[in-house]
Amino acid sequence: MDELTRLARLDDRITLVTGDLGFGVVVKFSEEMPKQFVNAGVAEQHMTGLAAGLALSGKIALTYSIANFPVVRCLEQIRNDVCYHDANVKIVAVGGGMAYGSLGMTHHATEDLAIMRAMPNLVVVAPNDPVEAALATRAVIEHNGPCYLRLGRQGEQRVYDTPPDFVLGKAIRVREGKDLTIAVTGGLLQNALQAATQLANDGLTTRVLSMHTLKPFDRDAVIDAARDTNAVFTLEEHSIVGGLGGAVAETLLESDVRPRVFRRLGLPGEKFSSKVGDQDYLRREFGLDAESIANTIRTTLQ
Residue 227 sits in a domain whose CATH number is: 3.40.50.920
Instruction: State the pLDDT at residue 151.
Output: 95
Tell me the C-alpha distance between 236 and 150, whole Å.
12
Q: Are residues 91 and 176 located together in one domain of the fold?
A: no
The CATH number of whichever domain residue 12 belongs to comes to: 3.40.50.970
Tell me the C-alpha distance between 50 and 107, whole Å.
23
Instruction: State the pLDDT at residue 138.
Output: 97
Which helix (H) or strand (E) element contains residue 142? helix 130-142
Whether the Cβ atoms of residue 185 and residue 214 lie closer than 8 Å to each other: yes
Structural domain includes residue 86? yes
Tell me the C-alpha distance between 77 and 83, whole Å.
9
Q: Are residues 11 and 55 located together in one domain of the fold?
A: yes
- The total domain count for the chain is 2
Q: Are residues 137 and 181 located together in one domain of the fold?
A: no
131-176 residue pLDDT tens:
999 999 999 999 999 999 999 987 788 999 999 999 999 999 999 9
216-256 residue pLDDT tens:
999 999 999 999 999 999 999 999 999 999 999 999 999 99
Q: Are residues 13 and 140 located together in one domain of the fold?
A: yes
Structural domain includes residue 159? no
Q: Are residues 129 and 189 located together in one domain of the fold?
A: no
Structural domain includes residue 166? no
> Of the candidates 118, 150, 182, which is a domain's last residue?
150
Structural domain includes residue 103? yes
Structural domain includes residue 39? yes
Q: Are residues 128 and 177 located together in one domain of the fold?
A: no
Tell me the C-alpha distance between 167 and 171, whole Å.
8
Distance of CA 251 to the CA centre of its chain: 19
pTM above 0.85, yes or no: yes
Whether the Cβ atoms of residue 49 and residue 27 lie closer than 8 Å to each other: no
Residues 6+ apart with CB under 8 A from 209: 171, 172, 173, 174, 181, 182, 183, 184, 221, 222, 225
Instruction: State the pLDDT at residue 159.
Output: 95
Distances (CA, A) of 153 to 71, 157, 291: 17, 11, 23
CA angle 46, 81, 90 (to 5 degrees): 80
Q: Are residues 122 and 179 located together in one domain of the fold?
A: no
Structural domain includes residue 156? no
> Of the candidates 150, 182, 197, which is a domain's last residue?
150
Per-position b or e across 18-32, b if 16+ CB within 10 A of its CB: bbeebeebbeebbee
Instruction: State the pLDDT at residue 251.
Output: 98
Q: Are residues 212 and 294 located together in one domain of the fold?
A: yes
Structural domain includes residue 163? no
Q: Whole domain around residue 248: which residue ranges?
A: 172-301
Q: Are residues 146 and 7 located together in one domain of the fold?
A: yes
Instruction: State the pLDDT at residue 275.
Output: 87
Q: Are residues 121 and 200 located together in one domain of the fold?
A: no
Residues 6+ apart with CB under 8 A from 68: 93, 106, 107, 108, 109, 112
Intervals of the chain under pLDDT 70:
22
Structural domain includes residue 167? no
Q: Are residues 143 and 249 located together in one domain of the fold?
A: no
